[in-house]
A and B are shown apart, each in its own frame.
Chain A
Amino acid sequence: DVKVTQSSRYLVKRTGEKVFLECVQDMDHENMFWYRQDPGLGLRLIYFSYDVKMKEKGDIPEGYSVSREKKERFSLILESASTNQTSMYLCASSYRGRSTEAFFGQGTRLTVV
């Protein structure tokens, strides 16, 4: 079974803190994605990566950065957390190619207070 694991299910952080969300996949997937999910807005792509050290901005990259030092691990970084970054964050991974489905982690519910 493909496994995509996010390091935390729930996180509470203070405004201004630097926050790291970690995601690990065990299927040797080339592609990894970070989304945030908010009611009524669906899943919005923050960043994605197609190879080690390679990354591309998604639709809402402002306030976020990412790191992919190893193929299996993709980290989302909130440089200075703000209350409007309170959300559900979903990590996904997939093989390269347009026909391959993405596999998702269980999500991290981040609350910034």
Chain B
Amino acid sequence: AQKITQTQPGMFVQEKEAVTLDCTYDTSDPSYGLFWYKQPSSGEMIFLIYQGSYDQQNATEGRYSLNFQKARKSANLVISASQLGDSAMYFCAMRETNTGTASKLTFGTGTRLQVTL
């Protein structure tokens, strides 16, 4: 079964608009972390934002915010005021706390975002 599901292979958004990238996850671990990464065409992986499973508030980092709905097991990324430089591949990832060993970091299939004028 997929641990991380990103159902939008591609998205378009106009410059200055907000966009939501969907991510749902599956885990039985009560303690986990959720991450979003950006991968521009250059190929580097850039960490954007983190949400812990016990965090009471939704995470925010500048124009990025995470809409965390624990009961629905979703962790959607919201980008406000989109810019041309936001055009990239976006990956959702989950880190589960495996008892006594390293915590596995699992990624989704990604969403390609294209920002248009």
Interface of A toward B, CB cutoff 8 Å = 30-31, 33, 35, 40-45, 48-51, 54, 56, 58-59, 88, 90, 92, 94, 96-99, 101-104, 106-107
The reply to whether the CB of B43 lies closer than 8 angstroms to some CB of chain A is yes
Task: List chain B positions with a Cβ less than 8 A from chain A.
Answer: 6, 9, 31-33, 35, 43-45, 47, 50, 52, 91, 93, 95-97, 101-110
Q: A94 to B31, alpha carbons, bound, how many Å?
A: 18
B91 touches A43 (CB 8 A): yes
Whether A40 and B109, one on each chain, are in contact in the complex, defined by CB atoms closer than 8 angstroms, is yes
How near does chain B come to A66, taking the closest CB pair, in angstroms? 13
B52 and A98 contacting across the interface, CB-CB below 8 Å: yes
How many Å from the CB of B104 to the closest CB on chain A? 6
- Known contacts: A98-B33, A101-B47, A107-B43. The answer to whether A56 contacts B105 by CB under 8 A is no
Q: How far is the CA of A106 from the CA of B96 in the complex (A)?
A: 25
Most chain B CB inside 10 Å of its own CB: which residue of A33, A42, A45? A42
The answer to whether A104 and B44 have CB atoms under 8 Å apart is yes
Interface centre among A40, A51, A97, A99 (most CB of B within 10 A): A99
Given contacts A48-B104, A102-B105, 14 further A-B contacts (CB under 8 A): A42-B6, A42-B109, A43-B93, A50-B102, A54-B101, A56-B104, A90-B45, A96-B102, A98-B52, A98-B96, A98-B103, A99-B52, A101-B47, A106-B43
Residues of B within 8 Å of A90, CB to CB, are: 45
A-B contact pairs, 29 of them (CB 8 A): A30-B102, A31-B102, A35-B107, A40-B9, A41-B109, A42-B6, A42-B91, A42-B108, A43-B93, A44-B107, A45-B104, A45-B105, A45-B107, A48-B102, A48-B105, A49-B102, A54-B101, A56-B104, A58-B104, A59-B106, A90-B45, A96-B102, A98-B95, A98-B96, A99-B33, A102-B105, A103-B47, A104-B44, A104-B45
